[in-house]
Structure 1
Amino acid sequence: MTAQHADPGDNRRYDDLADIQQMLARYAVAMTRGDTEQVLAVFTPDGNYSAFGDTYPLDDFPALIAAAPQGLFMTGTPVVDFADDGDSATGTQPLCFVEHSAHALRIGYYDDTYRRTPDGWRLHTRAMTFIRRSGAHDSGRPHAFERTRT
């Protein structure tokens, strides 16, 4: 799979980029508003989220959101690379999260995979990397979220 950047003569790629950016904006707004249903709507049904040293299926996402601090999700424009098939892509999107009660910051970035679906572009995988004050980049503490394992 070879990554392709948008070609100025290819309007479809620009439409795809706009669709992906809007989908990611819906994610950030829904996270800010605590709207779990809308967060889940931007994923493929078989999608997953990685953070805290683990990968979570979408069934775990509502509990993960409920356990997380609430606040403002400010995301930047993603860098997107399209696969040769035109129906999948990868991307990286910066994030600055501001916790609502103390205005404490968390910064980092998401590494994503995207898929074109009949309902438009959707996240297939989203992996969070935190940037620490030390400058370290990591996925978080494994004990930050507990779930029942079956």
Structure 2
Amino acid sequence: MSDSTAAWVATGVRAVIGAHTQAQDAGRTDDVVALYTPDAVLELPGTDPIEGHDALREAFKGWAPTQPQQHLVGNTVVTPTTDDGATAVSDVVFFQRGDTGWAVQVVGHYEDTFRHTDGTWLIQRRVTTYQA
């Protein structure tokens, strides 16, 4: 894979991760779900996998913000795997603002699998782990 193709993949994948984070923090459920493939799987600790757009929509509606929140995602490493696939690993810190100000709620890690479909990079699988 050429350097320019690898850069194109990394740019597209990072754009999806950023769009997901901003849409989730703003409570724009449909925008979040649109970033996943129809057969996508979301894995979170302590729960059964969430599979497909309908289940994802229901889950993200349930997680809609009730107070200001911010996911900070960084240290993302993108690896192209095929002509239409890539993986990315990222660190995430989740903050919420309460009566006493902003506080860290969760520190974790995303392992994402992406597929390029119809000119768009989409999340096919996200595995989230939390740090103790």
Q: TM-score range by the shorter chain?
A: 0.7 to 0.9
Pair 1:101-2:98 in alignment: yes
Structure 2 match to 1:147: none
Identity %: 22
Structure 1 residue 63 displacement after superposition: 2.8
Unaligned runs of 5+ in 2: none
2:43 aligned to which of 50, 53, 63: 50
What code does the residue aligned with 2:49 have?
T
Structure 2 match to 1:14: 7
Tell me, in whole angstroms, the C-alpha distance in 2 between the residues paired with 1:76 and 1:38: 21
Trace 1:32-71 onto structure 2 (pairs within 5 A).
32-51=25-44, 52-57=46-51, 58-68=53-63, 70=65, 71=69
TM-score by length of 1: 0.75
TM-score by length of 2: 0.84
Tell me, in whole angstroms, the C-alpha distance in 1 between the residues paired with 2:31 and 2:4: 28
- Find the residue that maps to 1:54 and give its secondary structure: coil
Structure 1 match to 2:84: 87
Task: Flag the structure with higher strand content.
Answer: 2
**RMSD over equivalenced CA pairs, Å:** 1.8
Structure 1 residue 25 displacement after superposition: 0.3
- Find the residue that maps to 2:98 and give its secondary structure: coil
Tell me, in whole angstroms, the C-alpha distance in 2 between the residues paired with 1:43 and 1:66: 15
Residue-pair matches, total? 124
CA contact (8 A) 2:24 2:64 kept: no
Tell me, in whole angstroms, the C-alpha distance in 1 between the residues paired with 2:75 and 2:13: 10
CA contact (8 A) 1:76 1:94 kept: yes
Tell me, in whole angstroms, the C-alpha distance in 1 between the residues paired with 2:47 and 2:114: 21
Structure 1 match to 2:122: 122
Structure 2 match to 1:140: none
Pair 1:26-2:24 in alignment: no
What code does the residue aligned with 2:92 have?
L
- Find the residue that maps to 2:108 and give its secondary structure: strand
